[in-house]
Amino acid sequence: MKNIDLLKRIVFGIQSDLVDYRSLRELQEKQFEAALRHDTAALVDVASDMGMLCAELERRRRHRVALLEQEPELARLPCEQQVPSLLEQLPSAPRTLAMAAWQDLGGLIRECKALNTRNCQLIVDQYEIMQRVLGQEEATYAPR
């Protein structure tokens, strides 16, 4: 594959991922709010939307990895260096924009991972509280 074609595909994928990770971040906020309200219907809807979005993000990630593995000089590099090394081939102005987009994507991914951890912790905590409450109710009304 010619490097210009590879560059176009990678940059397009980065731009698409930026849009989708921003959408995922919004969905994660909705998930958190729904969990705080104990809104099961909203949680189910958000989970469905998140699942579809994550599947698309994973599809693009796998595609990006496959494209990079086709280029021997990039495939020899550690994963975290492959895209920046490819983007270095761009002229100055587009390179600056593409590198900034790549950095932004990394930041969004880290942010979404942190939000996911927060949301999971809230849901687990809520579950544990409910288990304790339900367990105490049984003991409260049990014969002595």
Contact (Cβ atoms closer than 8 angstroms) between residue 50 and residue 27? yes
Q: Which amino acid is at 101?
A: A
- pLDDT score at 142: 58
Contact (Cβ atoms closer than 8 angstroms) between residue 75 and residue 68? yes
Band of residue 135 on the pLDDT scale cut at 50, 70, 90 = confident
- pLDDT score at 112: 99
CATH number at residue 130: 1.20.58.300
Band of residue 132 on the pLDDT scale cut at 50, 70, 90 = confident
Give the C-alpha distances (Å, rounded to integers) separating 60 from 45, 107, 120: 23, 17, 25
Number of domains present in the structure of the chain: 1
Would you say residue 138 has pLDDT above 90?
no
- pLDDT score at 13: 98
* Residues above pLDDT 90, as percent of the chain: 85
Q: What is the pLDDT of residues 4-59, one digit of tens each?
A: 899 999 999 999 999 999 999 999 999 999 999 999 999 999 999 999 999 999 99
Would you say residue 139 has pLDDT above 70?
no
Residue in the structure block whose two tokens are 């176009």 = 8
Domain range holding 54? 3-141
Q: How far apart are the C-alpha atoms of 67 and 3, rounded to whole Å?
A: 10
